[in-house]
Structure 1
Amino acid sequence: MTLRDRLTDGVYGLGWGTVKRLPEPVAVGLGRRIADFAWRRRGKSVLRLESNLARVVPEAGPERLRELSRAGMRSYMRYWMESFRLPAWDAARIRADVEIEGEHHLRDGIASGRGVIVALPHLANWDLAGAWVTTYVGVPFTTVAERLKPETLYDRFVAYREGLGMEVLPHSGGAAFGTLARRLRSGGLICLVADRDLSASGVAVDFFGATARMPAGPALLAQQTGALLLPVTLWYDGTRMKGRIHPPVEVPAEGTRVAKTAAMTQELATAFASGIAAHPQDWHMLQRLWLDDLEPRGGDPVSGAAAAAAEREGAA
C-alpha cells in the first residue's frame, strides 16, 4: 500500500471512528468549515461542480453559480458527516429525519412479489435513504459498490453499508448482474445509484439538453426479471432529508431490447433531471458527466472505456 493509500484509508477511518462521537452541532460546524475551505480553494472538483451546475441552471450568472457551488459543497460535506454518524443513529432518529413521498409505490411493489429496482442519482444522502428502507420499511436490499483503492477503504465502505442492513456486491465487469437478477426473481429489492456511466455499455440520454451516458443495468434487469423499476429523487430540507418515489418506469410493449433499454433509461434520466433541477445544490456530481465535457483539446471525443480511464486519471 502506498503512502497516499494509507493516508486516504486513515482519513476515512478517522471519520467513522471520531466524527460520530462529536456533539452534533460540532460535527455540523466542522463539516461546513471543511466545505467552505474546499470551496474557497477552487480546486478541480469545485470547478467541475460549478460547470455541471451551469448546465442544470443555464440562466445562472457567475455569482449565482458560485453561490450554488458553495451550497453544493456544504451539501456534499453534510452527506459525509451524516454518513460517518449514521451507524450510531437508531431507527427513531432515521424515521424522524427522513420523509418520503410516494412510499406506496415501493410498498406495493414489494408486496407484489415481483421484485423492485430503485434507481436514484447522486442527490442528498442515498445511504440515509437506504437506512430508511431497512429500518422503517423493514426490508433488506442489495446494492453494488465500485471497488475502491486501497482495498482496505473498499472494505470499510462494505462494512459500513452492511451495518445499515444492505447486501453489497462488488462492481466488477458486470459480474454482479446475475446475482441482482436472482435477488429480483425471488421478490427482493435492489437499489442502484444510476446517473453516471462512462463505460462502453452506458446508454446515451438527453440530460439537460446535452448527451450523457447512464447505466443500462436498471432497464435491463427490469426487462429480464419483470421487476418494478422506480426512480427516486432526494433533497435536503432544513435538518431533514426528503424524497420522492416516482411512478414506475414501464417496459415498452414493442421494440428491440436495445430500443426498450434506451427508452427506459431516458425516462429515468428525465425523472432524475426533475429532482436535480428542483434542488441543484444537493446534486453531488463533482465529476465529468456529459460526453462533450470528455472531449480532449484538438481531438475526437473520448468514449466508452477510454472515457472512464481518462476520468479516473483526471480525478486522481
Structure 2
Amino acid sequence: MTDRLVYWAYALGWAVLKHLPEPVARWVFDRLADYAWRRRGPRVLQLEANLRRVRPGLHEAALRRLSRAGMRSYLRYWLESFRLPVWSRGRVARDVRIEGAEHLTDTLASGRGVLAALPHMGNWDLAGTWIAQQGHPFTTVAERLKPERLFERFVEFREGQGMEVLALTGGGVNVIGTLARRLREGRLVCLVGDRDLSEAGIEVSFFGEPTRMPAGPAALCQRTGAALLPVTLWYDGPVLRGRIHPEVPVPEEGDRKERTRAMTQAMADVWERGISEHPQDWHMLQKFWLADLPSRETVGGASAVARPAVEPVPAAEPLSAAEPVAEPAAEAPGV
C-alpha cells in the first residue's frame, strides 16, 4: 500500500468512524474482525500459535473461539482509538476502571518519577487518556511513521489526550536522555514494552519459554531512581479495566546487568499472570518466542515500517518506546 493510501485509510477512520452511531460502528468492526479470523491469514495463525503457549491445554475448537475473541478485542482497540477524540471526559471516567492507582499517585506525590510499563493489552491509548485526565500527563515515544503527515496526525491526536510524544528519530531530541530527565523530575513515563525489536533485549522466561524483552524500563529506573510499575489491561463488557501493580524493586545484589535482568523477569511475571487471566485481550499477532524466530529475525519482525498494510486498516502502535526501551510504533496488522 502506498504512503498516500495509508494516510487516507487513517484519515477516513478519523473522519467517518467517530461520527457513526456507536452500535453501527461496533457491528462493522466485529464483522471485520470475524472476516479476518475466518480467512486465517498469517497474523491470525500467529495469534493462535501464541495463544497455544498461554493456554496449552485448549482443544482446537476452544482455541479457535479464543482467537476469534482476540481478533474482536484487537479491532475494538482500533475502533475506540478512532472514536476517542469525540469521547467526553465523563465517558472516559465511566468506561475506564483502574485498580491500584494509589501505587502511581502515592509515588508521584512523594516526588519520585514513575515508569509505567504495559504489554499490548486492551486499549493503551484509552488508558493513557484516563491517566492524563486524572491530572498525570506523561511522556511516551513513537516511531516516526510514513508518510510524515500521518505521523504528525498521530502526534497531534495523542498530545490532544495529554501525552508528550517524543519522535524516535528525526526530532533532534535525545530520546533516552529526555525520558531519564522526565523521570528525575518526578514525572510519569508510559511505555509499551513486551516485545523487543533488537537483538540486545533481556532474555526472560514467559509462559515457560524464552523470549526477549527490552532492558530499557528496568535500566531507566535504576539510572533515575524512578519506580517501575507494571500495568495490565483487559476488557470487561463495555468497560476497560486495568491494574497498576506494585513497584518492581531493584535487587540489592548483583551488578547492573544482573539487576536489570531480574527486574525485567519480575515485570514479565506480572504480565504473564495478567495475560493468563485475559488472553483474548493480549494483542500479539507477531512472532514472539525465540523458538519461532529464525536466527536473524528479531521479535516482532524486522523493519515494521516497511511492511505492507492490509485490511482492515494499517496500524501504528501507540505508547511505544525507543529501542532499547521498547519497540517501534509503526506496523500493519496483516491479518
Q: Aligning the two structures, in what range does the TM-score lie when normalised by the shorter sequence? A: over 0.9
Q: Which one of 102, 127, 134 corresponds to residue 104 of structure 1?
A: 102
Cα 1:99–1:305, aligned 2, differ >3 Å: closer, same or farther? Answer: closer
Moved more, 188-197 or 173-182: 173-182
Give the SS at the match of 2:302: helix
CA contact 1:288–1:311 (8 Å) conserved in 2:
no
Alignment-derived partner of residue 220 in structure 1:
219
Q: Which one of 4, 17, 23 corresponds to residue 2 of structure 2?
A: 4
Q: Deviations over 1:32-74 (max 9, x none)?
A: 0111111111111111111111111111121111111110010
Structure 2 unaligned regions, length at least 5:
309-331
TM-score (norm 2): 0.88
Give the SS at the match of 1:143: strand
Please state how far the C-alpha of 1:308 moved relative to its aligned partner.
3.0
Whether 1:161 and 2:158 are equivalent positions in the alignment is yes
Alignment-derived partner of residue 39 in structure 1:
37
Structure 1 unaligned regions, length at least 5:
296-300
Aligned partners of 1:32 and 1:184: how far apart in 2?
A: 40
Aligned partners of 1:306 and 1:60: how far apart in 2?
A: 25
Structure 1 segments of 4+ aligned residues over 6 angstroms from their partners: none
More helix by share: 1
Whether 1:128 and 2:126 are equivalent positions in the alignment is yes
Aligned partners of 2:227 and 2:107: how far apart in 1?
A: 6
- Identity percentage of aligned residues: 60
Aligned partners of 2:211 and 2:28: how far apart in 1?
A: 35
Q: Which one of 108, 114, 117 corresponds to residue 115 of structure 2?
A: 117
Q: Which one of 39, 50, 68 corresponds to residue 52 of structure 1?
A: 50
Alignment-derived partner of residue 170 in structure 1:
167
Whether 1:308 and 2:302 are equivalent positions in the alignment is yes
Aligned partners of 1:303 and 1:284: how far apart in 2?
A: 20
CA contact 2:142–2:165 (8 Å) conserved in 1:
yes
Moved more, 73-82 or 152-161: 152-161
How many residues matched? 308
CA contact 2:120–2:282 (8 Å) conserved in 1:
yes
Aligned ranges 1:145-224 → 2 under 5 Å: 145-172=142-169, 175-224=174-223
CA-atom RMSD, angstroms? 2.0
Q: Deviations over 1:153-211 (max 9, x none)?
A: 22222111111110011224994110000001111100000100020221111011111
Higher relative contact order (CA 8 A, sep 6+): 2
TM-score (norm 1): 0.93
Q: Deviations over 1:76-102 (max 9, x none)?
A: 000000000111111111010011111
CA contact 2:196–2:212 (8 Å) conserved in 1:
yes
